[in-house]
Amino acid sequence: MSISYEGKVAIVTGAGGGLGRSHALALAARGAKVVVNDLGGDVHGEGGSSSAAEAVVKEIEDAGGEAIAHGANVCDEGQVADMVKKTMDKWGRIDILINNAGVLRDKTFTKMDLADFKFVMDVHVMGTVTCTKAVWDIMREQAYGRIVMTTSSSGLYGNFGQSNYGAAKMAVVGFMNTLCLEGAKYNINVNCLAPMAATRMTEGLLPQAALDLSTPESVTAGLLTLCDDDAPNRTILAAGAGGYAKAVVYETEGIYLTPDEQTPENVRAGFDDLSNAEGQQELVQGGQQSMKFIGKAAAALGVKVG
């Protein structure tokens, strides 16, 4: 099996450096025509320059590939629309969207201004939403699309001093969970990448020896499996330093309490039982939880539903 992107057009946001640059170069090396999007700001979202994106385009072109640069702010609907229009004007389709652009404004919650919380949410959540919305109908009409959200262990598991970043990164998982249902019949697959790599955003957070192992290229190897023709749908792939794993949200089988038993004291008393992992399962849409609980109640009370 060889993964190829011949004939595909990809937009990679935040592709002027770090993971985005690595993703863009690898997609181009395997045949994709690539839009290298980067506002050119620093890790905190300050400033802006097109030079980084243009440098990546030159790397791709020097290697024999095709690429264009675009400096759209992913939070600006008009700028994103312009990026999508220029892509369609040049290549006539958009097959892949890699939502990679991001910022950090780390502080403990008690010291964090709400403005910093909102800014990080805007970039990671609304930036992802804005770019995805701009390509969604194009992908529906061409009956093909591959979209990757960038989540994080900070969102999946928590990380001290990153309440804003963690909230944003878990939000895009929820976004994926619904879009993969809505896009399935149009051959639009939506997945999440949870990366760990040595980039501007991780400088100072890890020892240098650890950073040396944590190459962007090791993460990109995982990314490439999430956006080709045979990509999965609704997968959270964790990748870093050559390690790859699937992150899954499971729900335990749980317990049932009759109406006269439904008190907080009885719920608390049943915590060990409702926490029992035996029989736990991955639910792939919210209605499954509803039917599980209704089924337990109906069976216990002898009530016929449906």
Write a three-state SS string for 19-46: HHHHHHHHHHHCCCEEEEECCCCCCCCC
> Residue 151: what are its φ and ψ, rounded to 5°?
-100, -160
Q: What are the structure tokens assigned to 237, written together?
A: 């792939």
Of 245, 237, 251, give the one whose Cα is nearest residue 279. 251
Cα 150 from Cα 80, distance rounded (Å): 18
Q: In angstroms, rounded to a whole number, what is the distance separating the alpha carbons of residues 107 and 104?
A: 10
Among 165, 186, 244, 256, the one annotated catalytic: 165
Q: What is the chain's length?
A: 306
Name the H helices within the chain: 18-29, 51-62, 77-91, 114-121, 127-142, 153-156, 163-183, 208-213, 216-223, 264-269, 271-274, 286-301
H or E stretch at 70: strand 67-70
DSSP summary character for residue 157: T
Q: Is 5 a catalytic residue?
A: no
Catalytic residue list:
165
